Amino acid sequence: MYVRFWGTRGSIAAPGQQTARFGGNTSCVELRANDGTIIVLDCGTGARELGLNLLQHGPRPLRVHLFIGHTHWDHIQGFPFFAPAFIPGAEVNVYAPLGFQKSLGEAMAGQMEYSYFPVKLKDLRSRIHFTELDEGFFRVGDVLVETQYLNHTAPTLAYRLTHGNASVAYVTDHEPYWKPGRNGFAHPGDARHVSFLKGVNLVIHDAQYTEDEYRSRVGWGHSPIGYATDIALAAGVQRLALFHHDPTHDDVTMERLETEARDRVSSLSGGLDVFASYEGLELEIKGTGPVWSMGESSAFRRLPIAGRRVAIVSGSDEEVASIEQELAEDSLVLLSIAARSEVLERVREIAPDLVILSSKLPDGDGASLVGPIRAALRRPDFPIILLTEETEEADCPHENEGATDYLERPFSPPMLRARVRAWLSRTVLEEAAPATTNGDGSATASIIDPVIAQHAESAEKYAQMLASMPLFKVVPLEQLIRMNTGAIDQVYGPGHVVVREGAPADSLFVIVSGRVRVTETARDTHSELLLSELGPGEVFGELGVLRSQPRVATIVALERTHCVILQSVHFLEAVKMSPPLALGLLQVLAARLSDADRRVARYAPDPLTGLMSRRTFKDQYRRLAAGVRRRRTGALLLVVDIRELRMINDHHGYAEGDGRRAPRSDAHHRPRRPLWR
C-alpha cells in the first residue's frame, strides 16, 4: 500500500516558517491500495492540496473513501475545500462514528451553512454518501477495514486497514486509559488497544504531548509520545509515525522529540522504527508476515442505544447529577443507587445494561461489588465502569476486581459519555446476530440497511407473524410471503425516534409489540402536536410510502417496541394485488385523518386573530421549563394584558367583541383575543 501525509498537525493549523519542515496543516493522510482503492484518513486542512492532486492525477471516474475518526473541527475543516466533492460524476463516501448531538451528515453540513461558508453541502455536484460506523469490520475494494473506539472526549474510531499482507493503523485522537505500571498495560482499554494494533506494519498514532505537557492535560483526549511508543512496542509494530503534532511544537521541537522517542526505543531494546510524520512524506507499505483480524461483526451494525438502562451507583448527589446531565441527550434510562446495601437487590429488579460504580460508597467498598453484580445478573461479562479515586500509583488500583473499565476522578464528563456509548454499543452488538462467514471460514462483511435486523428471519416467518393482524389477515399467505421479501425486524427502546419528520419514505412499519407516539411539528409555531398513539397490529409510515413523499410525522417509541419493517416496493405490489388489503388500508387512513383533525383542532389558532390557544401555550411553557431545569438556568415569562377586553367580550359576545369594532366609548381599547381564554 502507498501512504502519503498531507496534514500532520492537531487541534488547529499552524503554518509558518517555524513549522515548514513538519508542516502546519491539520490531519489528512492518503492511502492507496494496489487495486486502485483510494482512502483518505481524516479531512483536515491538508485535504485541500490532496483534493487538487487527485483532480490532476487520480483515476476517472474519481471514487474516494473518506474515513473520519470523529467530527471535531480539525478533522473535517478541509472538507469544504476538498475539490473532488465539487466535481460532477465523482463519488465521495464518508465514514465516521455517530457523534454527540448531530448525525454525520448534519455535522459535515453544519460548517457549510451560509453563516460560515458560501456553498452549502447540498449544492456540491459530486455524489456524496454518509455512513455511520460502529466497532467491527467491512471492506472497500480489496481493503479490509477494522474499527475500534478510542479514549477521547467524543466517540472516536481508530481504523486498521489491511490489503494483502500489508497493514496500516490510523489512531487519532486517543488518550491513555491508565498510566503504564509494573504489569504493563493493565487497564482493559489499553489491553484492547494493544490487541488492535498487534503486528501492524505502520501505525500512525496520536502523539501530541510531551510527558510534562500531558500531566496538565489529562482528560483532553490526546497521547504523550512515550505512551504511543510503548503501545507500539507492546503490539509488535514495525513502524510508528508520531502524528497529530501540537500546534506549539515547531520544527526544532519536533526534531528533539523524534530523537527522544528513538532513544526511548533503543533503551528498551526494541526493534521499532519510530519517526515524526511530516507533510509530503511518502511510504510504501509491504507486509512481511501473517495478518491478524480483530473484527467480530460488521461495522455497519450500528444498533441504537436509546432506551438502554444505566445504573449509577454513587453516594454523591452532585456526581450523580453531573453524570445524568451528561448522559441525558443519549435517551438512556438512568437509575441511581446511593447505598451499597441496596445495590444487588436493585440491579436484579431493574436489570440494567451497564453500571457506573463508585469505588467508595457511604456504607462500604463499592469496588468489591463487581463480581456480585455480575453474579446477580448471571452475566460474567456484564459491563461495569468503575470510578476510582485519584492515585499516584501506576497500576489500576482495582484491576484485580475485574471491572470492564476504570475512570479516575476527577474525570472528564464527555469522556465518560463516550465510554458509556462505546460499551453499550458493544453490548448491543453481542446481542445481535453474529457475522456470517464464507465457505473457507473467513468473515464476510456486507453493507446492511440502516435499519438493521436484530434477528435473521425468513419472509415466511414474518408472513406468519402478520397473518393474525387485522389489516393483513385478509391477504393470502402466498401474497404475504412475497410482501415480506427483504423484510427485517427491529426492537426500539423507550424514547427512540423510529421515524423522523422529513426523512425519506422507503419502508412501512408493522408493530408486533409495544407502543409508539405520532407527532407533527406545527408550521407556524414549531410546537409539537400529538396526532395519535399506535399499538400492536397497527402500521405507520404508510402515508409516505403511498405518496412517495418524505415522512410527514415523527414516530417515537413509548416503550420497548418490536417492529417488522417492510420494503415499500413489495408492500405497494401487495396493495395492488389485494383489493381487501387496499380497502383495509383506506379505512385505516380515514380513521387516522379524522382522529388527527380532532386532535389538531385543540391546538389550532383562533380563526379571527391567528393567536395560538391556551393549550399550545401550556405545552410550550412545559417544554421551556423542562429545558431550564435541565440546564439549571432561568427564564423570563412576560404576560401582556389588554385592559377591559373581558368586559367587551362579556358585553358583546366573543364573536362580536373580536369580530367588529368596539363601541365608540371604548374605541381606544381595540378588541383583541388574549393569548389564552
Pick the closest to residue 74 from 101, 47, 113, 52 (CA basis): 47
Query: Taking the complete model, does pTM exceed 0.85, yes or no?
Result: no
> In this prediction, what percent of the chain has a pLDDT beyond 90?
42
- 373, three cell numbers: 453484580
pLDDT of 453 higher than 70: no
In this structure, the number of other CB atoms found within 10 A of the CB of residue 319 comes to 18
H or E element: which one contains 488?
strand 488-492
pLDDT of 639 higher than 70: yes
Angstrom distance (rounded) from CA 7 to CA 13:
9
pLDDT (tens digit, 9 = 90+) per residue, 174-187? 999 987 655 568 78
The average pLDDT across 488-495 equals 78
pLDDT of residue 626: 67
Output the CA torsion 197→203→207→208 (10° steps): -120
- Residues 665, 639 contacting (CB under 8 angstroms): no
The average pLDDT across 469-496 equals 84
- 474, three cell numbers: 385478509
The average pLDDT across 440-468 equals 53
pLDDT of 12 higher than 80: yes
pLDDT of 677 higher than 70: no
pLDDT (tens digit, 9 = 90+) per residue, 566-597? 988 889 999 998 999 999 899 888 887 777 66
pLDDT of residue 451: 33
For 372, how many CA atoms within 13 A lie in the half-sphere containing its CB?
14
Sorted by where each begins, the domain ranges of the chain are: 2-284, 309-431, 459-601, 605-677
- Residues 278, 243 contacting (CB under 8 angstroms): no
pLDDT (tens digit, 9 = 90+) per residue, 509-552? 999 888 888 887 765 545 567 778 888 889 998 888 888 888 88
Look at 108-112, 586-590, 666-670 and tell me which has the smallest mean pLDDT: 666-670
pLDDT of residue 429: 54
pLDDT of 100 higher than 90: no
pLDDT of residue 180: 64
pLDDT of residue 33: 94
Hey, which bits of 302-383 come out as E strands?
A: 309-313, 333-337, 354-358, 360-361, 364-365
Angstrom distance (rounded) from CA 650 to CA 654:
7
Amino acid at 363: D
pLDDT (tens digit, 9 = 90+) per residue, 367-415? 899 999 999 998 888 999 999 886 555 555 555 568 889 888 888 889 9
pLDDT of 444 higher than 60: no
The chain-wide mean pLDDT, for the chain, equals 83
| Cα distance between the two ends of the chain | 73
Per CATH, is 459-601 categorized as 3.30.450.60?
A: no
**CA 193 to chain CA centroid, nearest Å:** 21
Which superfamily does CATH assign the domain made up of 309-431 to?
Response regulator (3.40.50.2300)
φ, ψ for residue 577, nearest 5 deg: -85, -15
H or E element: which one contains 31?
strand 28-32
pLDDT (tens digit, 9 = 90+) per residue, 327-375? 877 878 888 999 999 999 989 888 899 999 999 899 888 989 999 999 9
pLDDT of residue 305: 78
CATH no. for 2-284: 3.60.15.10
Residue 674: pLDDT band (50, 70, 90) is very low
Name beta bridge partners: 38. 32, 64
Pick the closest to residue 202 from 46, 20, 4, 24 (CA basis): 4
| 655 vs 325: which has the higher pLDDT | 325
> In this prediction, what percent of the chain has a pLDDT beyond 70?
80
Q: Rg of the chain's alpha carbons, rounded to an integer? A: 29
- Residues 648, 671 contacting (CB under 8 angstroms): yes
- For residue 96, give every residue at least 6 positions away whose Cβ sits within 8 Å of its Cβ, in sequence order, or none: 67, 68, 69, 70, 71, 104, 107, 132, 133, 157
Hey, which bits of 398-545 come out as E strands?
A: 405-408, 488-492, 497-499, 507-513, 516-521, 528-534, 539-540
Residue 655: pLDDT band (50, 70, 90) is low
In this structure, the number of other CB atoms found within 10 A of the CB of residue 70 comes to 24
Angstrom distance (rounded) from CA 183 to CA 334:
35
pLDDT of residue 446: 34
pLDDT of residue 635: 78
Look at 141-150, 435-444, 474-483, 652-661 and tell me which has the smallest mean pLDDT: 435-444
pLDDT of residue 530: 73
